[in-house]
A and B are shown apart, each in its own frame.
Chain A
Amino acid sequence: KKKENNALLRYLLDKDDV
Chain B
Amino acid sequence: SSMNLEFSQLSMLPHLADLVSYSIQKVIGFAKMIPGFRDLSAEDQIVLLKSSAIEVIMLRSNQSFTLEDMSWTCGSNDFKYRVSDVTQAGHSMDLLEPLVKFQVGLKKLNLHEEEHVLLMAICILSPDRPGVQDTSLVESLQDKLSEILQTYIRCRHPPPGSRLLYAKMIQKLADLRSLNEEHSRQYRCLSFQPEHSMQLTPLVLEVFGNEIS
On A, residues with C-beta under 8 Å from B are: 2, 6-10, 12-13, 17-18
Contacts and interface: CB of A to CB of B under 8 A. Distances in A.
Q: Is the interface of A mostly helix, strand, loop or mixed?
A: helix
Interface in B159-213: 202-203, 206-207, 213
* Size bracket of the B interface: 10 to 19
B29 A10 contact: no
Interface of B: 25-26, 28-29, 32, 42, 45-46, 49-50, 202-203, 206-207, 213
Contact of B203 (A2, A8, A17): A8
A7 B29 CA distance: 16
A8 to B, nearest CB: 5
A13 B46 contact: yes
B28 A12 contact: yes
B25 A12 contact: yes
Contacts of A17: 29
A9 B26 CA distance: 12
A3 B107 CA distance: 40
A2 B46 contact: no
B46 A10 contact: yes
B202 A2 contact: no
